[in-house]
Structure 1
Amino acid sequence: MKRGDLYRVTHPTTRDPKRSRVFVIVSRQILIDSQFSTVICAPIYTQYHGFSTQVHVDIDDGLKHSSSIHCDELISLPKSVLTDYIGVLSIFKLTELNNALKIALSLEL
């Protein structure tokens, strides 16, 4: 398990109407490798609005269709639910993700 990995999660939250959703791990690697039981993830939705806090992803990234990572909706998920591995983001997409997270969290660029 590493930062930038994509996982399909069944029933991720009680509020999510979808049966399953893909998430990307955004936690730092030292936390992922630790005994801590959860990691921070960003959900992937089929809607893409072009916001600076969204990262466009598609079939080249291992998804079935064009989608976007929503960095304004971070969630902590137990590592135990991250079992259905989809793929990993490219270095280029990780850079875009880092920039979107900086904007979403109002960190200095």
Structure 2
Amino acid sequence: MRRGDLYRVYRGSKNDPKNYRVFAVVSRQILIDSKFSTVTCAPVYSSYAALSTQVLVGVNEGLKHDSAIHCDELVSIPKSLLTHYIGKLSYHKLARLREALLIALDIED
């Protein structure tokens, strides 16, 4: 598992209309490689509002259609649920993800 990997996760939530949702792993690599049982992820939605906290993704990353990673909606997900690998972000998209996370968390670079 690497930062920028995309996984389809069964949500099973009554609040989410979809049974499955794709998530991008955004935790730093040292945490991913540690014994911690969870990692921080950002959901991928088909909607895109051109916000600076959203990163466009699509078929090049293993998805069926154009979508966006929403960095304003970070969640902690158990590593054990990240089993259905979809694809990964390119170096350019990883850099864009970093920028979006800095903005979403209001961290000055």
Percent identical residues: 62
Aligned residues: 109
TM-score by length of 1: 0.96
Deviations 1:46-67 (A, max 9, x none): 0000000000111111100000
Is 1:60–2:60 an aligned residue pair? yes
- What root-mean-square deviation, in Å, do the aligned CA atoms of Structure 1 and Structure 2 show? 0.9
Alignment of 1:24-43 (within 5 A): 24-43=24-43
Which residue identity is paired with 1:9?
V
Q: Distance in 1 between matches of 2:79 and 2:30?
A: 14
Show structure 2 runs of 5+ residues with no match. Answer: none
User: Is this contact kept in 2: 1:12–1:21, CA < 8 A?
Assistant: no
How far off is 1:45 after superposition?
A: 0.0
TM-score by length of 2: 0.96
Q: Distance in 2 between matches of 1:42 and 1:16?
A: 15
Alignment of 1:92-107 (within 5 A): 92-107=92-107
How far off is 1:15 after superposition?
A: 2.1
Deviations 1:12-61 (A, max 9, x none): 64422111000000000010000000000000000000000000111111
Shift of the 37–14 alpha-carbon distance from structure 1 to 2, 3 Å rule, reads farther
Show structure 1 runs of 5+ residues with no match. Answer: none
User: Is this contact kept in 1: 2:13–2:19, CA < 8 A?
Assistant: no
Q: Distance in 2 between matches of 1:72 and 1:99?
A: 12
